Amino acid sequence: MKKQKANFLLGFVPIIAMALLAPSLNAQGLIDGFYSPKGDMSITASYTGTSYDEFYVGEEKTGPVPAHEKITQNILGLYAKYGLSDSFTLIVNALYISAKGEGAPDPISGNTEESGFQDFSIAAKYRPFSTSFAGGRLDGITALGFDIPIGYKSNSILAIGNGAFKTNLHLGGHLFLNQGFFTTVVLGYSLRGKTNDDFNVNNGEDYDVPNAFLGSLKLGYASAKFYGEAWLDHQSTSSDGVDIMGPGFAGNFPETKVDYTRFGVSAYVPVVSGLGLSAGYGTVVNGRNIGDTNFFNVGVTYSFSTLSSMKTAQ
């Protein structure tokens, strides 16, 4: 009975949105190793706060941030997942981002603030196999996701995203031990399309946003009363692009190569039946054309079973 209760909770473990410099946001953080049981849904509302006054120009860290000196972001997120079956989970995510610079107006947009909805993300995660052994269980992970930009301006230092439609492919494994400890490894590739030349920097021609390799590692503990993890997240550009202030750069920020390695911790605690609280912290440990960011987040999760609701209604 205790094991069943723990497995039931794990279907509702939230993914805490880990936002850095807005153009680096992608669907990689949506894919974890836990699957929602059939009919189970969880909805997480979150807040992420971040600021930085140093920036990777190419691979060299410098400060303060060009023009803006310091950039502060406030990010509201809404994340939901639903178990279509015990091995097939549907995930959606939407972010509203407010970014503000403390120095001069942006050299491209002329603004000191940008805000709006960023990308709407949707992903389907499928478990191709599950192998049990004496000490626990090993699950496979496959996922297909899409990021759909929602009409924001994409070419400036303050831009809240790169404006490209993305197709994200993921493959990985999740090892869960009977004691509650787990390890999750997910590798991915992000195919990225074009984005508009919002401010006629490129003579009206669309920009090619570089594709990227993605990777994440999670080590943690999960039980009916507590969930905690340490995570490592990595992105490296795989296709042509430019460095800020390097050859080929002329204010075309969506075409920059954005690489990073970031590290963080997060935790989730159920408060009452169906309701839990989460919190997390993360930092960039290495990067390329990205802000040297520290960030924190908090969230509240509501979870329920649609199958139970249907039976009650009948």
**Opening angle at CA 57, ends 56 and 62, nearest 5:** 65
Report the pLDDT value the prediction gives residue 310, as an integer from 0 to 100: 55
Token output for 116? 């709006």
Domains defined for the chain, CATH in brackets = 2-313 (2.40.160.40)
- Provide the Cα torsion 251, 212, 278, 179; round to 10°: -160
Report the pLDDT value the prediction gives residue 308, as an integer from 0 to 100: 65
Report the pLDDT value the prediction gives residue 307, as an integer from 0 to 100: 82
Q: Specify the pTM.
A: 0.87
Report the alpha-carbon distance of residue 282 to residue 294 in Å, rounded. 6
Token output for 53? 């006054």
Per-residue pLDDT tens digits of the chain, which is 314 residues long: 444 444 434 444 433 333 333 444 444 478 999 999 999 999 999 999 999 999 999 999 998 887 889 999 999 999 999 999 999 999 999 999 999 999 888 888 888 999 999 999 999 999 999 999 999 999 999 999 999 999 898 888 889 999 999 999 999 999 999 999 999 999 999 999 999 888 888 877 899 999 999 999 999 999 999 999 999 999 999 988 999 999 999 888 999 999 999 999 999 999 998 999 999 999 999 999 999 999 999 999 999 998 865 555 55
Report the alpha-carbon distance of residue 182 to residue 137 in Å, rounded. 10
First-residue to last-residue Cα distance in the chain: 27
